[in-house]
Chain A
Amino acid sequence: MARTTGNGGEDERVAGGGLLHRRAFLATGALSMGALGTIARGGTPPASMAAPGGPLSGYGARASASDTIQRRLPARIDFPGTGSSRTPLDRLEGTITPNGLHFERHHNGIPDIDPLAHDVLVHGLVQRPLVFRYEDLLRYPMESRILFLECSGNSGALNAVKPAQVDAGRLNGLLSCAEWTGVRLSTLLDEAGLLPEARWVQAEGADASGHVRSIPLDLCLDDALIALFQNGEPIRPEQGFPMRLFLPGIEGNASVKWLRRLKLMAKPAYSREETSKYSDLLRDGRAELFSLRMGVKSVILKPSLGLDLRGPGYQEISGLAWTGRGRIRSVEVSADGGKSWAEAALTEPVLSKALTRFRIPWQWDGGPATLMSRATDETGATQPLRADWLAKYAPGQGYHNNSIQSWHVDAAGRVSHIYA
């Protein structure tokens, strides 16, 4: 059986269901269990050491054994180029999303844009309407930030009457985190010179949907970027190459990809995407408009559906937490369906408007258990219960669902989605 440091065993238990103190760790035991590979065979060297390996390459590929890690594609696609694919969060570790696994949400396909023929117009309520070429923007001062991006429709399946038996990627994978590098939008707005009446910025993409959103000027002057690089390389076509707007902490739909036009306006345009689509219908029939900020949220990824437990004993529970308002302050985990909670360890650095990895050790006794996580952000906001969330919104309203999620572990170690 696993042992823990300090006083050992029972003294490290900090909540019901076998949750251990977040600083507890295994003293011994894992090495002997893990030593079953090439070393155990003895004698001849492994094949990888007996012949030269593969050649250099211009652009690396991942291990073929990792090829099963794929974006989750929809089962049914009525219109190719529309809809979404999801980041397989449950198959990844750490906090950074590899570029090839960053979720996609397109409204009419991925355009093929020649960067040297692409420019972005800043116009409307400005002193000097200006055109910025892609090549010009590359000469501007840049900044890099690690930031999450979440579609406001993420986790919308939590609306379903019965818990969807799908993995954490399908449930929550309209979510990513990357290092985004680009030019501060405020630098370009400053150059164009704002007129006093300007209050909103309409951003438009050069895709076949002409995707367009009205964004409050305050957000654009705060920390908005025109992103040109994603995890160090030029952003991917499906992320808006050659450039996208990036609004930290704001629903993904507003971070317009393939950006071609920014219009300073006195009022929003109330375009289709910001009224008929990305508005949140309440129980009383009114709908909230411009609910742009993403709320505090967390999800357990290990274990989760599809990642069953292999036997009683020591486990690590880990997952991701984030908030559109700044930093995560704490994540609590329950192993007994919310009766008791213990604080998880947050992996440093805990960055503003980025994904934060949390971990907590767990001594599973082999009985049924219900795992939940609950994040609190630096403003003191914490996640609502699912029932409370549902009580606010009209049936079928699926945006901004940040309610507490639960996984059930049965005696065989199988993990299923549950409403607790």
Chain B
Amino acid sequence: MPDLRRATLLLAAGLLAASALSAASLGAPILSTPASGTPALGGPALSAPTLGGSAPAAGPRLGRPATPAGIAAIDISIGADGAGLPKGSGSVAEGRVSFAARCLACHGEAGLGPDGGAVADRLTGGVGTIASPRPIRSVASYWPYAPPLFDYIRRAMPLDSPQSLSDDEVYGLVAYLLSVDGIVGRNARLDAKSLPRVAMPNRGGFVELIPRQFDGNLDRTIRDR
């Protein structure tokens, strides 16, 4: 198994390099100690048929094992099914207060965006207009799933201070925004269990291009001319 032997040597070289890193750079919680990283060898390589083009060069295998705690600390993504939603909750009433304080200045009254004289995206209204000659795309009218709204607000909003909202505040904001168009009730409180159950009006409005190799371009073939 010359490949394995070579990989072992390269891994050893990697561990040596790791031990020489400064304490500060190793301080990131994502890294486990290199000594615990023995399972890095022995896994099956990708089978050749799944690789397009030329096969990749075998790397020196310098990746360091990541700990579950380290991963949890930086993986802030939420699945469309709600996977990853944190503990906590927020109500429409609480969200209305947060919206006034943190969102209204850019997104306008009730999240009407430019249509309400504001500069940032429209978040509400327009439900039922998507197939009309004047489609109005808002969170309410267009988004297929509700949990990604939590994901986006938590990671990116407000623009001048992203990731500064608490999870409870984000739940509240989601509840408030969805309440404007009646997608959730006026007294709703959302959490990790209830948010994935919210039915978005345009859930069935999308066509995925997987069978067409992610190519939606309107190109004609020569024969069509």
Query: Nearest Cβ in chain A — how far from B55, in angstroms?
Result: 8
Q: Does A292 contact B (CB under 8 A)?
A: yes
Residue of chain B at shortest CB distance from A254: B214
Q: From A287, A296, A380, name the one whose CB has the most chain B CB atoms within 10 angstroms.
A: A287
The answer on a CB contact under 8 Å between B63 and A223 is no
Query: Nearest Cβ in chain B — how far from A210, in angstroms?
Result: 4
Shortest 9 CB-CB distances between A and B: which pairs?
A285-B131, A295-B217, A130-B63, A291-B216, A381-B219, A193-B43, A210-B155, A222-B52, A141-B57
The answer on a CB contact under 8 Å between A121 and B30 is yes
- A contact residues around B53 at 8 Å (CB): 222-223
The answer on a CB contact under 8 Å between B215 and A261 is no
B29-41 CB contact bits vs A (8 Å, 1 = yes)? 0110000000110
The answer on a CB contact under 8 Å between A140 and B225 is no
Give the distance in Å from the alpha carbon of A132 to the alpha carbon of B207 in the complex: 36
Q: Does B79 contact A (CB under 8 A)?
A: yes
The answer on a CB contact under 8 Å between A380 and B222 is yes
Give the distance in Å from the alpha carbon of A189 to the alpha carbon of B43 in the complex: 12
Q: Does B3 contact A (CB under 8 A)?
A: no
Q: From A107, A135, A293, name the one whose CB has the most chain B CB atoms within 10 angstroms.
A: A293
The answer on a CB contact under 8 Å between A286 and B80 is no
Q: Which residue of A108, A139, A282 is within 8 Å of B159 (Cβ)?
A: A108
Query: Nearest Cβ in chain A — how far from B188, in angstroms?
Result: 21
The answer on a CB contact under 8 Å between B145 and A388 is no
What are 15 of the A-B contact pairs (CB < 8 Å)?
Answer: A79-B159, A82-B159, A108-B162, A119-B28, A128-B63, A130-B66, A131-B70, A133-B25, A186-B56, A189-B46, A210-B155, A265-B79, A281-B137, A285-B131, A402-B217
Query: Nearest Cβ in chain B — how far from A188, in angstroms?
Result: 7
Give the distance in Å from the alpha carbon of A276 to the alpha carbon of B143 in the complex: 6
Residue of chain B at shortest CB distance from A129: B66
Q: Does B127 contact A (CB under 8 A)?
A: no
The answer on a CB contact under 8 Å between B50 and A131 is no
Q: From B62, B63, B135, B163, name the one whose CB has the most chain A CB atoms within 10 angstroms.
A: B63
The answer on a CB contact under 8 Å between B206 and A384 is no
- A contact residues around B21 at 8 Å (CB): 133
Q: Which residue of A119, A208, A221, A223 is within 8 Å of B50 (Cβ)?
A: A221
Q: Does B2 contact A (CB under 8 A)?
A: no
Q: Does A23 contact B (CB under 8 A)?
A: no
- A contact residues around B77 at 8 Å (CB): 202, 204, 212, 263, 269, 271
- B contact residues around A272 at 8 Å (CB): 143, 148-149, 151-152, 156
Query: Nearest Cβ in chain A — how far from B123, in angstroms?
Result: 10
Query: Nearest Cβ in chain B — how far from A82, in angstroms?
Result: 7
Q: Does A345 contact B (CB under 8 A)?
A: no
- A contact residues around B65 at 8 Å (CB): 128-131
The answer on a CB contact under 8 Å between A187 and B207 is no
Q: Which residue of B25, B216, B219 is within 8 Å of A382 (Cβ)?
A: B219
Give the distance in Å from the alpha carbon of A296 to the alpha carbon of B220 in the complex: 10
- B contact residues around A402 at 8 Å (CB): 217-219
Known: A186-B56, A285-B131, A381-B217. A191 touches B61 (CB 8 A): yes
Give residues 128-151 of B contacting A (CB, 8 Å): 130-135, 137, 139, 142-145, 148-149, 151
The answer on a CB contact under 8 Å between B222 and A261 is no
Query: Nearest Cβ in chain B — how far from A56, in angstroms?
Result: 35
